[in-house]
A = this chain, B = another copy of it.
């Protein structure tokens, strides 16, 4: 832990700095993987499954039987939990569908926007130790609500060639039936280029390791869009004297357990809460199964004591955290001061894990200070907003001269002519 008591403002820029991400030089490998997938299609994926995931797979497409069987392989409790989470996520994301409002900017000139779903989207779900079925909900629910025609999912097989049943169950619950057994950069390549089994998509969503991140970046050369740039997960907790140290510690640790590169920041306005939270963190971390990872993350965590909530929020805005928890008595009055954050949790009972799983908000959020210029995933991520305009002859008459004068001043005479010929 790095502990700072009332640090001077001039050192803040150092405190909010993210560690430089160690990028191994993998662009050559990524290019090779894309080339192999482009040339050999499914066969390349089968070979990569063997090479990278030690899995013997003959079929890339997960069969209907496998998908249906998943239901029998997970507990009733988990099924119920996933269903409740889905309901809440659906409710919140459905509220984000904006209405079309037609605006008559000038009499006879009507402008509006309409949403159209991105027709083909791909969801990537990592395999490995933690089967992120919650991310299936966070991406498939808004994709469905937006009306995406084709929603496909890629996830790596285990060494037996199987897919985690919770992932299959959740996908099916969300109406996704095109599921493919492939992971890493090769999955991203397959969704960008298409193979015999896997359809090419227009936008790729989902988290992943450095290979997946690099492949998503690379995929953009093929005209594919991605959800957002990636970085390690983060939480920043601001606590005042009414905060509960044990709760704050639990939130900080739920971030720390994600990985050794997780970003954990705690800011308190009260000395007692500050020290007690540090103690609680040290106590609670010992009992965690992912203790080693959490401890590594805590090594570079930042604990800051400040004079006021205003100061804490200034620090937070400079940091631009993915998750911001306001363990404050009068949190409402501070909401307008929040400038840069991915998702905000208010009060002592809004723990980050609520938003990670089941409150209804999306957990795919901007990290690495991207909360300054990016939003988290929402319905908006799955639609384009097309503008429409209708001008009557009278409408064009009203703004015709304006267009002609401006077009001429920009030296674009054909633009001017398009008006003149209509008003002749």
Give the interface of A toward B (CB within 8 A).
Answer: 74, 77-78, 80-82, 84-85, 87-88, 91-92, 95-96, 98, 101, 103, 105-106, 109, 111, 113-114, 116, 118-119, 129-134, 166, 202-203, 220, 223-225, 229, 246-247, 250-251, 253-254, 256-258, 284, 288-290, 294, 331, 335, 338-362, 366, 368-376, 378, 380, 383-393, 395-396, 399, 401-403, 405-407, 409-419, 421-422
Contacts and interface: CB of A to CB of B under 8 A. Distances in A.
Given A84-B402, A354-B391, A418-B251, A225 B344 contact: no
Contact of A389 (B361, B389, B403): B361
A388 B344 contact: yes
B359 A401 contact: no
A410 B361 CA distance: 18
Given A417-B250, A419-B353, A105 B359 contact: yes
A133 B91 CA distance: 44
A414 B37 CA distance: 39
A391 B347 contact: yes
B389 A341 contact: no
A195 B337 CA distance: 28
Given A338-B116, A414-B250, A84 B419 contact: no
A383 to B, nearest CB: 8
Q: 3 closest pairs, A vs B, by CB?
A: A105-B360, A225-B373, A353-B415
B413 A247 contact: no
Given A88-B109, A356-B415, A369-B223, A346 B389 contact: yes
Contacts of A388: 335, 343-344, 346
Nearest to A411: B130
B250 A390 contact: no
Contacts of A372: 118-119, 202, 223, 384
A132 B132 CA distance: 48
A21 to B, nearest CB: 11
A378 B373 contact: no
A253 B417 contact: yes
